[in-house]
Amino acid sequence: MVRERSRFAARRVKAKPPSKSLRQQRVSSRPKKHRAAAEPVRPPQVGGRSLLRNVGVNQDVTERRKAGRALRESEERLHLALETAELGMWEWRPDTDSFYFDERECRLFGVTPATAPKTAAEFIQFVHPEDREIVRENSRKGLRTDQSYATEFRARLPNGSYRWLSSTGRIARDASGGIEIVRGITLDISERKQAETALRESEERYRIVAETAADAFVTIDTESRILFANRSIERIFGYKPEELVGQKLSTLIPHRLRERHLHGFEHYVRTGVRNIRWEGIELPGLHKDGHEIPLEISFGESSAGGQRIFAGIIRDISERKQTETALRESEERLRTALQAAAYPRVCSATLFRRTAPDSLRPSSDVPRLGNATKSNSEFAGPMERFAGFPTKGGRRSMIPGA
């Protein structure tokens, strides 16, 4: 038995000092991680025999293990967020002028880790010439103020095309206050820039159409406040566009209709229910000088930036109304003429009595129907002259001048 212990002790003496983590179970707490380190020690011989003992330390590493696990989890979440958002990450050390691109940053610039820029001078060559100055200026501003800075620029890809990128950088300083490193992330904003360009082009086309349209065009908000008016508004209402912007739409509405418009518009904004149709409705408008104008109006609704916008196309129909009035009067005259043709003497006398000037009218009243034949001679001369058909040889001629 003594011999076995001696062999075991000899092996432990030759062995390296053990260092391992142990799990210690305590009755009053959760399991904790410990790090133990021990070293064999040979004491002086006692009684002719060599005794062996271990001397060591035991350290609680639970918190350190938790911190390490939290760090790994944080790094995994960061990696997942960057991967999901397709964000690239870069670093620049000013003291050595060294650039670093991660894998996603390389993809955004269309390069590999081997061909990625290694210095600031190499990086700026990947930037569109027109955007280089703004990149430099924003970087200098960030270094001066210690604030995060963002820059949008076009990056030149190896195939010669350009990609819109947005890059945000943050400065980290060392204990002495010097700039240790600048870290940043980069996002591809090409689709957003394309959408912005398409929107600007659409707005420009809209502006050209609105400005050159013969009809007046206005937009209002939910408070019935005018946001835009084109040039034709002055021709119809007498107001310059800048005079109306910011004013209520009721400025262009006759006083007797303003309250009805206000209640109807507020009701629609609140409930979405229309009290009148919105397409081609005829309403009177109020000119700047106070007279009313017959109008044809069509409304529409849209949304811009989360704001409800109402647009109106306004057409002055004064000429059309005058034409319609003239047409009705012409039809009335034609109808009267046709009636006169059916009852030539009585109807002609009646028509003459109603329409002839006072100087040509007979002094007596219109004769009764029973005496029409006898009394028509009283009207013959003046009536024929009024109608443009003079008599010839005591008979009425239907051909003027005959």
Identify the CATH number of the domain in which residue 224 sits: 3.30.450.20
- E strand or H helix at 101, and its extent? strand 98-101
User: Residues with Cβ < 8 Å from 282, sequence gap 6 or more?
Assistant: 294, 295, 296, 297, 317
- Of 216, 266, 221, 223, the C-alpha closest to 241 is 216
The verdict on 179 and 227 lying in the same domain is no
The verdict on 93 and 164 lying in the same domain is yes
Asked if residue 58 belongs to a domain, the reply is: no
Asked if residue 330 belongs to a domain, the reply is: no
- Give me the mean pLDDT over the 194-205 stretch: 86
DSSP for 49-81? Answer: B---EEEEEEEE-HHHHHHHHHHHHHHHHHHHH
Strands (E), 146-280: 149-156, 162-173, 179-188, 216-220, 226-229
The verdict on 275 and 212 lying in the same domain is yes
Tokens, residue 10: 């000899």
The verdict on 244 and 179 lying in the same domain is no
pLDDT digits (tens, 9 = 90+) for 298-323: 988 887 777 889 989 999 999 999 99
The verdict on 184 and 208 lying in the same domain is no
State the total domains in the chain.
3
Mean pLDDT of the chain: 77
Q: Between 352 and 24, whose confidence is greater?
A: 352
Domain ranges, residue 293: 203-318
Asked if residue 40 belongs to a domain, the reply is: no
- Give me the mean pLDDT over the 212-219 stretch: 87
Q: Which of 193, 215, 238 is the last residue of a domain?
A: 193
Kindly list the strands in the beta sheet with 307-316, ordered across the sheet, starting from the edge strand earlier in the chain. Answer: 226-229, 216-220, 307-316, 292-304, 281-286
Q: Between 380 and 194, whose confidence is greater?
A: 194
Asked if residue 74 belongs to a domain, the reply is: no
The verdict on 217 and 243 lying in the same domain is yes
Asked if residue 59 belongs to a domain, the reply is: no
Q: Which of 271, 286, 318 is the last residue of a domain?
A: 318
Distance between CA atoms of 308 and 301, rounded to whole angstroms?
7
Does pLDDT of 8 surpass 50? Answer: no
Distance between CA atoms of 122 and 107, rounded to whole angstroms?
17
pLDDT bucket at 235, cuts 50 / 70 / 90:
very high
Does pLDDT of 62 surpass 80? Answer: no
- Whether the predicted model's global pTM rises above the 0.75 cut: no
Asked if residue 385 belongs to a domain, the reply is: yes
* Residue that has been written with the tokens 């020690």 in this structure: 41
Does pLDDT of 128 surpass 80? Answer: yes
